[in-house]
Structure 1
Amino acid sequence: MGLFDNLMGISSDADPQKVVEQLASARVLLEGERVIHAFQLYRDLAVFTDWRIISIDVQGMTGKKRSYQSIPYFSISRFSVETAGSLDRDAEIDIYLSSATTPTLALEVRSDDAVIKIQQLLAQRLRGS
């Protein structure tokens, strides 16, 4: 992925080993929790584990400040996907909790492959909830 891709916010698969190391050093992963897949969006990450989604919002100039949002799969009631168009290159995946009318987490994605993978991961994880 080049610098231009990063500036445009193009999402890609994140290196699983680096993600596990980052989450372990921040003490975010639970004992026995396994990372299934992770997606990089410029500096931010969306991590799918076997128990939950962890959204990491990297903030500030240095990127040392981070906001972690943890969403257990059992609390997700539904999700929606809005595909990209000709002029709007972003696809958006909205994740809703319980009876919420607004999404708790909105992932903006520019890679068709990432949209498909995220949608499949959510569908697989929610079918047993």
Structure 2
Amino acid sequence: MIDFENSEFLKLRAVDPSSFSAALNPLLIPGEEIVAGFKTVRDGVVFTNKRVIAINVQGITGKKVDYTSLPYKKIQSYSVETAGMFDLDGELELWFSSVGRVRFEFSSGSDLLQICALISEQVL
């Protein structure tokens, strides 16, 4: 599992959600769909209609990959900070029972309010 206490995903940028399909389809349950996808150089975060999947590519070759599944039903609260005039990045913090705080930083242009609406639909 990704060590969320000592590691942060930095500057995630929006990508076509279908770009994750080949890697994630074996992990998805019937009826689960990828809603949004974000990527750094190697790592990524995918929001489905059921959970958040954090993808951590490891090693020099990148053949070893860690997938961490974070179900929406375990979210206790969340906080979003949208991009501003001088701070162009946005941040999303999620607090999960038994995992703690998970923080993602997004580059400008990411629709964090859409992600918050998705999370709200699942946890409220």
TM-score by length of 1: 0.72
What residue in structure 2 maps to residue 110 of structure 1?
107
What residue in structure 2 maps to residue 31 of structure 1?
30
Can you list the C-alpha shifts for 1:88-108, whole angstroms capped at 9, x where unaligned?
5432211101387x41x2111
What residue in structure 2 maps to residue 3 of structure 1?
none
Higher RCO, 1 or 2 (CA under 8 Å, sep at least 6)? Answer: 2
Shift of the alpha carbon at 1:41? 2.5
- Partners in 1 of 2:29 and 2:97 — Cα distance? 24
Counterpart code for 2:103: A
Unpaired runs of 5+ in structure 2? 1-9
Structure with the higher helix share, 1 or 2: 1
Counterpart code for 2:79: S
Task: Give the length in aligned residue pairs.
Answer: 114
Is the partner of 2:111 in helix, strand or coil? helix
Shift of the alpha carbon at 1:74? 0.8
Shift in alpha-carbon separation, 1:89–1:99, aligned structure 2, 3 A: same
Is the partner of 2:18 in helix, strand or coil? helix
Shift of the alpha carbon at 1:126? 2.1
- Partners in 1 of 2:98 and 2:28 — Cα distance? 27
Shift of the alpha carbon at 1:42? 2.5
Counterpart code for 1:16: P
Please tell me the root mean square deviation across aligned C-alpha atoms, in Å.
2.4
What residue in structure 1 maps to residue 116 of structure 2?
119
Shift in alpha-carbon separation, 1:17–1:99, aligned structure 2, 3 A: closer
Shift of the alpha carbon at 1:16? 2.5
Counterpart code for 2:78: F
Is the partner of 2:116 in helix, strand or coil? helix
Q: Is the 8 A contact 1:56 1:68 kept in 2?
A: yes
Is the partner of 2:68 in helix, strand or coil? strand
Unpaired runs of 5+ in structure 1? 1-8
What residue in structure 1 maps to residue 6 of structure 2?
none
TM-score by length of 2: 0.74
Query: Could you tell me the percent identity over the aligned residues?
Result: 37
